[in-house]
Structure 1
Amino acid sequence: MAYAALVSLAQLLDQILDHDEHTNYFLQQIKSLHQNTLSLLNFLDDYPGEAALPEVRITTAANQSEDTIERHISDQILSLQNSESSDLYWLKLYGSLRESMEEIDSILKEVNQVKSSSSASKEHSSGSFSPRLAPKRKNDTVVVGLDEDAMKLKGRLCGEFKNLQTIPIVGMGGVGKTTLARYVYDDPLIVHHFDVRVWVTISLNYSIRQILLDLVSFIGVSNKELHKFDTDALLVAYVYKYLKRRRYLIVMDDLWNTNVFDDVRMIFPDDSNGSRIVVTTRQLDVASYADPSGRFHRVELMNMDQSWNLLREKVFANREHCPPELEQIGKLIVENCRGLPLAIVVIAGVLREANQTQDTWRNIARNVKGAFDGSDEQFMEILSLSYTYLPHCLRPCFLYMGGFPEDHEISASKVIKLWAAEGFVKPNGSKNQEEVAEEYLEDLAKRSLVLVVKKRFNGRIKAVKIHDLLRDLCLRKAREENFLHVINEFSVDSLKVIEKSRRLSIFSYILGGFPEVDCSRIHSLLLFQHEALHSWRSFSLLRVVDALSVILDFYPDDIFELFHLRYLAFTFDYTDKRHHYEIPKSFSKLENLRTLIIRQFNGFYGFRTTCCMPFEIWRMTQLRHLILLDGFLPDPCSETCLETLALENLQTLSNIQEEWSKYCLNNLVHLHKLEELKFHAMPHDYHRSDLSRNLVFPLTMKKLTLSGCNLPWESMTIVGSLPNLEVLKLKKGAFRGLKWETTEGEFCRLKVLVMDRTDPRIWITESSHFPTLEVLVLRKCYTLSEIPYSICEIQTLEQIKVDCCNSSIGESAKRIQEEVQSFGNELEVLTITSQLEPALDTGMDFFKS
């Protein structure tokens, strides 16, 4: 993986060269290595399809250089040799790097020869493509060839059968079963028809408990209330009782075994309300077992017309027609895809980003024909073309997706931070690593290599999944290039993998603890199974530790010795009944840490503890994102003056929970780069202090989520006066009072306003008070009587969403829509009316809010 290795090395060299302005021979040699690294990167960007490039040699040399530098830095820190001269420091580093530097220099000479002898250029027409990022489109959802299937399925779901019906959808891999199910599941008619809709994905490594936890999450039970359900039986009873009274739709996606169907099916009650279970499966025996009557829905391969329409829609969505000179070649391409929608969609992603010339399309058509030799083999070779035609900058991002479990819903925010921490995302002009990484994710979605499953209110991606066949492709390519290895079970072979790996994703419980093998090459650990890792000292070069999905039964003190760590996320089980647990001061040794996520798991003991960060955290200069799920910061004034603090790069602060008397919110104003804050107050703090007297936010704030603050609506002017605020989410108990009256000149840049279980009885406002508002969301607002009519005059308004509110709010939303449309403007109004009682508090889950 040459590109990822070079970008990572270049960034590391940037850092160390910035720390020393001294000039000597050895430092100049290190600068020469930096320049050679950038030259190789530029070649990859300019000649993405060059077959003569020695990628394996580049990757090996760059990785060796990077490891040598990081070991040198670690040795310097551990041996406390900070007093040695600058000349001696660079001499030692140069001596260690000399071999790999000579290799990179040799490679660069070969590459320059290739460059000078090649007749290709950025716009060469030899069947290559331009490595541009995909343009953003407002709506890229196209379901072609499934319209008739969707109509039939909706008819069965809303049909006259009153008893519980199971509807299997059967078909081969990649034929569109999940796409069809999801399309129907999200249809407004289906949303309105069923009281409860639940989507459950059944992976090969499924556990009944995880499915139960997914179910109660849909129902509305918060993580903080799970201690009530200390057995699976209690979870089953709760789900059963909740669904028994309602008309429900359950989708069991990717079911592969009749025994699994029995295990999951027993959770759902038989009733007479017209409830439905939809099962998607590749196995005909599973479909027949789920519905012995044989009334399952078979999704067939597409015919030629459907295939061509799908390709054309995906490639030319913003244009009326395919250019005539490309139509014949395009039809030849879809013919070679043999009617498989996944293959067509993936190849469409390649064509959309390629040069729109006959030569380019002919070359892709030849590759498609050669890849599909008539054998089934899950058409892996045709999917491989999507990787072959990817720009180098997107390849590591795509392969990284294979490190997540099958059917795993991947948070966009999380994977973006991981890509940046890994070091293979290069800043671009005024855009930082994470902004570029977000563009990369959008581009993978446009190429249909990841599936967008959730979007934010502003249209940006919130969560994605990857098709299991594309995930198989990721894993195969990642193994071939020694980029990432997934361990499903531990064996002699897996021990050999560990010793040569730079990135490990572990899905298996390690009986007896992590094996005593050479872990010195490992830079990243993604842990998805309970992990008995009792020592971190051997992982001296770790950059990424993601253990949020598991529960560590100890506190990892020695993890703070990992100097190169950039991303740390973990959940630990602290069973001491003290109210707080203090993170050790040694935490401040993690000088390179950019993202920290800590979650305290309280088990099933019924008491609550929170973790308190040490004062030293204020001195961490590189920290960008601090997400404390049950935790709080110390008051900096208790130790030193605020002028000496160094949390100068903090952009995200999430879910701080504590009594106002223990944490002074007026200190937030000193976080000069803070853009996102999620703040949740404990209910028992309502009566203890007046928060509004010392509540101050930095002017850089762009996204603010408040919950439990119990502020008077008159204090909203503190929020409304923020000049850069774009997203405001008011959740349960954020504000209190009968009337919210807005003021002229506030919310000057607000685009999204969400009111979730925080509603006055009366809301008085003018359109000029929200001059840039695009999305208004009202969820579970039971006391608000109506939406102010003046909202219809906001020129930028695009969507109003009403979810489980009084019927009068939905009616006022419809009136506003009619008024807006009478002006000739478009306004989307989504109303979900429910007579259900208010759901349980879902808390402040960072990745769900």
Structure 2
Amino acid sequence: MMEGAPKFQVGGKLEGISQPKDPQKLSALSMTDFKVYKSRESTFNQVVEALADPNVNMVGVYGLGGVGKSTLVDHINKKVVEDQLFSVVVPATVKQNPVLEKIQKKIAETLGFELGGENEILRATSLHAKLKEEKSILVILDDLWEVLDLKKIGIPIGNDHKGWKVLLTSRNLDVLSTGMGCKSNFELKVLSKGEALELFKNMSELENSDKNAELQTIATQIVELCGGLPISIVTVAGALRNKKDLHHWEDALQRLSNNMGMEYVNASMRLSYDFLGSPELKSIFLLCGMMPYSSFDDLLKYGKGLGLFRGSNSMEDARIRLYTLVSNLKASCLLLESDSGNDYEMHDVVRELAISIASKDKHVLLKLDEWPGEEKMKECTKIYLSYNDISQLPEELICPNINFFYLGCADPSLSITNDFFRGMQSLNALDLSRMHLNSLPTSIRYLSNLQTLCLDRCILGDITLIGNLKNLHVVSLVSSEIKQFPFEMKNLTKLQLLDLRGSKIREIPCKVQASFKKLEELNMENCYIHWEAEAVLGNQSTNASLAELRNLEQLTALNIHIRSDHLLPSDLPFSKLVRYKILIGDVWNWSGKLESSRTLKLKLNTRNVHLERGVKMLLKGVEALYLDELIGVNNVLYDLNEKGFAELKYLSIQNNPEIQYIIDSSIEPPDHHAVFPKLESLILNDLIKLEKVWHGQFKTAE
């Protein structure tokens, strides 16, 4: 969206500029097929009826983990929207250890406004006021594990708002009825035998791929063992999809038969895990399970350090490989598609299995009542300790086989001794999050095999010891408070990814960046560096200039904000960029969604600077383009890129006193046809000389 409030907008159908997909087809493609089976049809209808009842303001759905509660409420959501029961429907996922800020921001995002402020009470007050503006509203809070205080979120309750309703789901009826005060609660039960068999056959493609009577018989037996639990059925079916050999099916049946009761669920998950085959795929799955959140970027950083992407030497290759692995895990039903903006989600039942496998089979330490004995620590391959798991660290950990260590703790009293890492010399990836570190432990210099170092959301003092870790490929300082970017980091000549998103770094010593000759990804989103002009460069104490980017010949991804085009040197290395978010000018900020992996925001005060200082080459493949006050531009197409914008999806133009036309076909090459073939959105704001969007002969795409 545009920065600032628009004064007018130009929209509508842009024939000949782009050919939009049919809306009905687009909707159909994005909607997961869902069938309300007869055994749960009554539950579906009862919940919808309760939501329509003016005397009911809170409705609960409960049932076993994996029974399909989230899927049911997703389609109840679609039903009430279709029937227009509410003016607004706001879904949010709660889960274990809920973070109120995340829930608040999800609700605010759905309502279309940005929820600012660090204070929980102020956010709740702002959200409460916004919700009360709606005549009728349904808030869906999925996956409650414990009582949730709706007032702390900002959701109106009781007589505070007659038009509001809340739909809750939980595994525990007491959480809904006693804890939350739900008077109308409905149990979602497992599928009947016939429905379970139908689901299994559809997911395994048994009916389409093989009519073999033996497979049909085994399928019936497997479904019985799955106990009618959809997630169990789907994961086993996913593991057997397209497998026509009888021995695969017999093996699956045998292994499921050796377990009893609810252990069938874990057995089915384990079966799907074992059928993954690839050690690479299994390792990524276990990493996903260890992490209590969904973060593609962290998976990439950890996986790179652990050497999981074999044959993928570059960061871009590793990223593509990880996308493929995540897609494969989704196809196996071990990961889920996400509707929360993440790249994936993991079902709680599946996560529990991953934790079990990691703990028992891979000697991973994930939960801690007390530190294990010396022999156990020698077997340990990974340690992942979250914020509430640890109150004190030993002087030294002897873990000769460990390759990954994560510690997240916001308690400033927790300290790491200088000898702590002395016995972890095989460590490949280290993440210390939310830590208070006046200096790095001196034993970190022993980590000669370390390839990934993450110090995210930390309060940092002296980190010059990083300069000793010359095998680092990934350094991450996301949202950390750090006084000075150390000059010693110039020794990290193997660095491929540097993530400074949201960090408090303001100055980078001269010549440090220039030493990162193998750097491929540089992320400075929400990081405001005080760059020197190129002419000011002198001794080592001088702050870096953007001219040092010229040395980064391997750069393929760049997120950066350059507050003035006067700081732009010539010949910047933009030609190899595959992904970028580049903001030039003082009017822009990073708020709101940047819809594309290739986003450019421009405010250029110098005439034709876009032609001579590396910016023009970005316009060839840009997908989201934001323009503000471009000196010397009165025709966007001809003045910026006369060959058209083949990949452009989003175009926003604001505050320009000179633009007369967006497109002037009277001076285009005669063979030019669709200049914006993929355009989906056009927003125009405060263009005082604008006469026409299209001037000249209007040509339709062939």
Output aligned runs, 1:377-526, within 5 Å.
377=263, 379-393=265-279, 394-405=281-292, 408=293, 410-427=294-311, 432-453=317-338, 462-487=342-367, 489-493=368-372, 497-507=376-386, 508-514=388-394, 516-526=396-406
C-alpha distance in structure 2 between counterparts of 1:455 and 1:750, whole Å: 30
Residue 506 of structure 2 contacts residue 529 of structure 2 at CA under 8 Å; is this kept in 1?
no
Hey, what does 1:722 align to over in structure 2?
A: 617
Residue identity opposite 1:444 in structure 2: L
Residue identity opposite 1:180 in structure 2: L
Q: CA distance change for structure 1 residues 416 and 293 in 2, over 3 Å: closer, same or farther?
A: closer
Asked if residue 279 in structure 1 is aligned to residue 279 in structure 2, the reply is: no
Q: Which deviations, in whole Å up to 9, do the C-alpha atoms of 1:505-562 show, x marking residues without a partner?
A: 11235334445443444321222333624235434332212234x2425343647523
Secondary structure of residue in 2 paired with 1:261:
coil
Residue 621 of structure 2 contacts residue 647 of structure 2 at CA under 8 Å; is this kept in 1?
yes
Residue 725 of structure 1 contacts residue 749 of structure 1 at CA under 8 Å; is this kept in 2?
yes
Residue identity opposite 2:560 in structure 1: F
Asked if residue 742 in structure 1 is aligned to residue 623 in structure 2, the reply is: no
Hey, what does 1:624 align to over in structure 2?
A: 496
Q: Which deviations, in whole Å up to 9, do the C-alpha atoms of 1:393-446 show, x marking residues without a partner?
A: 2222222222112xx2x1223213312211233226999444333322211111
Q: CA distance change for structure 1 residues 495 and 378 in 2, over 3 Å: closer, same or farther?
A: farther
Asked if residue 547 in structure 1 is aligned to residue 470 in structure 2, the reply is: no
C-alpha distance in structure 2 between counterparts of 1:221 and 1:745, whole Å: 34
Q: Which deviations, in whole Å up to 9, do the C-alpha atoms of 1:40-72 show, x marking residues without a partner?
A: xxxxxxxxxxxxxxxxxxxxxxxxxxxxxxxxx
Deviation of 1:293 (Å): 6.8
Deviation of 1:328 (Å): 5.3
Hey, what does 1:344 align to over in structure 2?
A: 233
C-alpha distance in structure 1 between counterparts of 2:226 and 2:74, whole Å: 23
Deviation of 1:469 (Å): 1.2
2:128 aligned to which of 240, 244, 248: 240
Residue 61 of structure 2 contacts residue 185 of structure 2 at CA under 8 Å; is this kept in 1?
yes
Deviation of 1:286 (Å): 2.7
Q: CA distance change for structure 1 residues 338 and 698 in 2, over 3 Å: closer, same or farther?
A: same
Q: CA distance change for structure 1 residues 724 and 210 in 2, over 3 Å: closer, same or farther?
A: closer
Secondary structure of residue in 1 paired with 2:338:
strand
1:764 aligned to which of 655, 662, 682: 662
Output aligned runs, 1:564-583, within 5 Å.
564-571=449-456, 574=459
Residue 730 of structure 1 contacts residue 755 of structure 1 at CA under 8 Å; is this kept in 2?
yes
Q: Which deviations, in whole Å up to 9, do the C-alpha atoms of 1:760-782 show, x marking residues without a partner?
A: 7987258969779657467x976
Secondary structure of residue in 2 paired with 1:491:
coil
Hey, what does 1:177 align to over in structure 2?
A: 69
Hey, what does 1:698 align to over in structure 2?
A: 574
Deviation of 1:279 (Å): 1.1
1:168 aligned to which of 56, 60, 68: 60
Residue 157 of structure 1 contacts residue 276 of structure 1 at CA under 8 Å; is this kept in 2?
no
Q: CA distance change for structure 1 residues 209 and 333 in 2, over 3 Å: closer, same or farther?
A: same
C-alpha distance in structure 2 between counterparts of 1:789 and 1:496, whole Å: 75
Secondary structure of residue in 2 paired with 1:385:
helix
Higher relative contact order (CA closer than 8 Å, sequence separation 6+): 2
Residue identity opposite 1:556 in structure 2: L
C-alpha distance in structure 2 between counterparts of 1:429 and 1:269, whole Å: 52
Hey, what does 2:90 align to over in structure 1?
A: 197
Q: CA distance change for structure 1 residues 471 and 266 in 2, over 3 Å: closer, same or farther?
A: closer
C-alpha distance in structure 2 between counterparts of 1:504 and 1:658, whole Å: 35
Asked if residue 657 in structure 1 is aligned to residue 559 in structure 2, the reply is: no
2:518 aligned to which of 627, 634, 648: 648
Residue 613 of structure 1 contacts residue 631 of structure 1 at CA under 8 Å; is this kept in 2?
no
Residue identity opposite 1:189 in structure 2: V
Hey, what does 1:712 align to over in structure 2?
A: 603
Secondary structure of residue in 2 paired with 1:599:
coil
Secondary structure of residue in 1 paired with 2:156:
coil
Q: CA distance change for structure 1 residues 741 and 676 in 2, over 3 Å: closer, same or farther?
A: same
TM-align CA RMSD? 4.7
Higher helix proportion (structure 1 or 2):
1
Secondary structure of residue in 2 paired with 1:526:
strand
C-alpha distance in structure 2 between counterparts of 1:498 and 1:732, whole Å: 57
Residue 93 of structure 2 contacts residue 141 of structure 2 at CA under 8 Å; is this kept in 1?
yes
Asked if residue 597 in structure 1 is aligned to residue 492 in structure 2, the reply is: no
Secondary structure of residue in 1 paired with 2:177:
helix
Q: Which deviations, in whole Å up to 9, do the C-alpha atoms of 1:706-745 show, x marking residues without a partner?
A: 3463533776667774379756445797989996713486
Give ranges in structure 2 of 5+ residues lacking alignment.
1-28, 533-542, 588-601, 666-670
Residue identity opposite 1:504 in structure 2: I
Give ranges in structure 1 of 5+ residues lacking alignment.
1-137, 457-461, 576-580, 603-609, 796-822, 824-849
C-alpha distance in structure 2 between counterparts of 1:793 and 1:470, whole Å: 54
| Count of residue correspondences | 613
